[in-house]
Amino acid sequence: MSRYSRIIGTGSHLPPNRVSNAQLAAQLARDGVETSDTWIVERTGIRFRHFADPATSSVDLGEQAARHALDAAGLTPADVDLIIVATSTPDMIFPSNAALIQGRLGVPGGAAFDVQAVCAGFVYALAVADQFVRGGMARHALVIGTEVFSRILDFKDRTTCVLFGDGAGAVVLAASEEPGLLASALHADGRKAGILCTPGRVSGGEVAGHPYLKMDGQAVFKQAVHVLEDVAREVLTKSGRTPQDIDWMVPHQANIRIMLHTAKKLGLPAEKVVQTVAEHGNTSAASIPLALDVAVRAGSIQRGDTLLLEAVGGGLTWGAALLDY
Ligand code: UT7
């Protein structure tokens, strides 16, 4: 009998401070940084983002998302034997956000670690958790994407600070005889690390380097439209499916133009693309599980639907997963 991993619950959490483009533009204007609602909407599709207050961390957001996912799955923290957190904005250098969230949930014993693949982090974490569950190393895995990207934004750099937001999403993966995750594919090209990075570190008690996000947006855009179609076709081929089998595409929510371009290349109408970028902005590793949870709770995604998840991020990293929900 084959063993698969299957999503049995989803959850998400957003910090309450919802900031519109107009509010952000007014705030930036006070520091002489010029932007507009029109530019942001036309170039990205973003209308709002949520920002965490200074006292709220990515562990706080991730814990809430995890609890909602466990409730949806009908499980308690005691059922979880693996926690993987995808984040680039962890609370500490160590221990991992996964260990900290496990501590909050109060159930020691299972494995807990973070995955760092920036905006592709959730797809990476899901693929790793799937290997654990399929291989018999875990029965119930919590896979969480959680970010406070506002902490690494340079609010004097209009080319990046209008794009990102904070939030968290989570899924519970359970061992199952029915699929489940059908195929995943992960890739990286470290030669392109410089086009999207936060090149700071802590050294001798000081922050060294540049602790803010830097991005060559056009270079990332060009890579994204190229690799996302390829990796989507890769998981379709691996699982013996075609684009026509996809009920919903749940892409990383960075830019509506990239999302719809990839859908078009695959022959998918915009109506089959889960779109939350307008409400959340780019929440990096949190964006896919957040979008998934919104679509599940809205009743758009139904049991039995085939989902394509795909993302590209700093590294450069990219990946996709195809699954029967
Ligand atoms: O999540 C990880 C993956 N990340 C992504 O997928 C992001 C990929 N990149 C993008 O989504 C797009 O490249 C951006 C949204 C970042 C930028 O859009 P673009 O269409 O590539 O714009 P651009 O960089 O070519 O800039 C066009 C103009 C420039 O002015 P000039 O040189 O034409 O006079 C910029 O200076 O827009 C200007 N600009 C702005 N204007 C108003 C850049 N940022 C802003 C801004 N407000 N916030």
CATH (domain of 222): 3.40.47.10
Rounded Cα–Cα distance for residues 31 and 191 (Å): 35
- C-alpha 192/C-alpha 305 separation (Å) is 35
Mean pLDDT value across the chain: 97
* Residue 218 sits in the same domain as residue 162: no
Please give the residue range of the domain that contains residue 121. 4-176
Query: Which of these, 283, 12, 305, 41, lies nearest to 147 by C-alpha position?
Result: 283
Domain stop point among 154, 176, 198: 176
| Res 227 pLDDT > 80 | yes
Q: For 50-68, how does the pLDDT look when each residue is reduced to its tens digit (9 = 90+)?
A: 999 999 999 999 999 999 9
| Coil, helix or strand at residue 254 | coil
- Percent of the chain, pLDDT > 90? 99
**Are residue 170 and residue 259 in the same domain, yes or no?**
no
| 206 and 236, same domain (yes or no) | yes
DSSP state of 116: -
**Sign, CA torsion 76/81/87/89:** positive
Tens digits of residue pLDDT in 140-176: 999 999 999 999 999 999 999 999 999 999 999 999 9
Does residue 224's CB lie within 6 angstroms of at least one atom of ligand 1? yes
Judge if 171 and 196 occupy the same domain: no
Task: Pick the last residue of a domain from 142, 176, 210.
Answer: 176
Supply the residues annotated as catalytic.
119, 252, 282
Global pTM value: 0.98
Mutate to test the pocket of ligand 1, among 27, 44, 156, 159 (most ligand atoms within 8 A of CB): 159
- Residue 274: other Cβ atoms inside 10 A: 23
Amino acid identity for residue 11 in this structure = G
Which of the listed residues 143, 160, 176 is the one where a domain comes to its end? 176
**The token pair that represents 116 in the structure block:** 């760092």
Q: Are residues 191 and 267 in the same domain?
A: yes
Q: Three-state SS for 106?
A: coil
CA-nearest of 196, 192, 306, 313 to 258 is: 313
Q: What number of residues does the chain have? A: 325
Q: Are residues 138 and 186 in the same domain?
A: no
Q: How far is the CA of 279 from the centre of ligand 1 (A)?
A: 19
> Is there an atom of ligand 1 within 6 Å of 254 CB?
yes
Residue 84 shares a structural domain with residue 103: yes
Looking at the fold, whether 226 and 116 belong to one and the same domain comes out as: no
**Geometric angle at alpha carbon 172, from 166 and 175, rounded to 5°:** 155
Closest CA to ligand 1's atom 11: 255
Q: What is the pLDDT of residue 2?
A: 81
Residue 312 zone, left/alpha/beta (φ > 0; ψ -120 to 50; rest): beta
Number of domains in the chain: 2
pLDDT band at 1 (very low <50, low <70, confident <90, very high): low
